[in-house]
Amino acid sequence: MEGNMKAIFLALIISVIFAFDHSSLQVNGQALAKSMVITWGKEYASIHGDELELKLLDKNSGSAAKSKAAFLFGSIEMLIKLVPGNSAGIVTTFYLSSKGDKHDEIDFEFLGNVTGQPYTIHTNVYCQGKGNREEQFVPWYDPTAAFHNYTIHWNPTEIVWYVDSIPIRVYRNYESQGVPYPNKQGMGVYTSLWNADDWATRGGRDKADWSHAPFTAHYRRFRARACKWNGPVSINQCASPKNWYTSPVYSKLSDAKKGQMEWLRNKSMIYAYCKDTKRFNGVMPKECSLPQF
């Protein structure tokens, strides 16, 4: 057992530097200023070259940006440095979403904290407008002290959330068994900083302290090594086996990656919808009985 833990720990360290090929992710990258636009709170946000800054000044302000293009499958990544200090009630986001009431969505949301307490990394999947697939983690690093890499890898087989090249969650495609999966709608890439102190920190018990405003989040090096959405014709084109992300090597995590993820989930996970029997009155979502990784 001790030997296995040492092997996993060593693989974890090595993976931070080498395991996910960040150089290849930059192949289709361009300066953030050319690939994203500010959509909300233009007086509080700025884009310069390959950096985006979002600010929140009061209850009624906030800011957001989105990609100019939408995508269907691939790897989407961003470097993010979260709001430091007392960020209770403040939510910073990086997510993919289509449009409309029946939208699909894949989320990274970072729920603020009271000074001295950890952030919450909140993940979720929406299919055809329905979510309720949350998993949450406590970061094993200080997400406010430096930039960290957050990547969503999404293909016809599975969705994988990575933090600094380490997989933290997998959601597999079980559409053939009646489980919805986001694979027919192009999704844009979104970022935002906003006030959610009615629920974000300890269920809304810890409110935003506006004496600490402005709250500022920094984004850097948006990269989308992904299939560009060009309407319904893209459904088949982006799922083609000729694409790099549909290669068998990306259909399932390697044993080394699974070891990293299992170690991390045991260490840092604080909520999983598939374990919340009370929430679903004992009638659990079907995918909860199926292997995810």
Of 93, 94, 91, 95, give the one whose Cα is nearest residue 111.
Answer: 91
Q: Decide if 38 contacts 190 (C-beta within 8 A).
A: no
Of 257, 240, 243, 247, give the one whose Cα is nearest residue 292.
Answer: 257
Q: Decide if 88 contacts 201 (C-beta within 8 A).
A: yes
Of 290, 249, 19, give the one whose Cα is nearest residue 151.
Answer: 19
Q: Where are any strands of DSSP class E within 43-113?
A: 46-48, 51-56, 63-81, 90-97, 105-111
Structure tokens at 126: 């929406």
Structure tokens at 117: 């307490």
Q: Decide if 94 contacts 117 (C-beta within 8 A).
A: no
Count of CB atoms within 10 A of residue 79's CB? 19
Which H helix or E strand runs over 10?
A: helix 2-14
DSSP state of 273: G
Handedness of CA 246, 99, 148, 219 (dihedral sign): positive
Q: Decide if 32 contacts 49 (C-beta within 8 A).
A: yes
Told to judge if 105 belongs to the known catalytic residues of this protein, a careful annotator would answer yes
Told to judge if 175 belongs to the known catalytic residues of this protein, a careful annotator would answer no
Q: How far apart are CA 56 and CA 52, in angstroms?
A: 14
- Which of these is catalytic: 53, 77, 109, 287? 109
- Which of these is catalytic: 53, 77, 105, 287? 105
Torsion angle of the four alpha carbons 187, 188, 194, 199, in this order, in degrees rounded to the nearest 10: 10
List active site positions. Answer: 105, 109
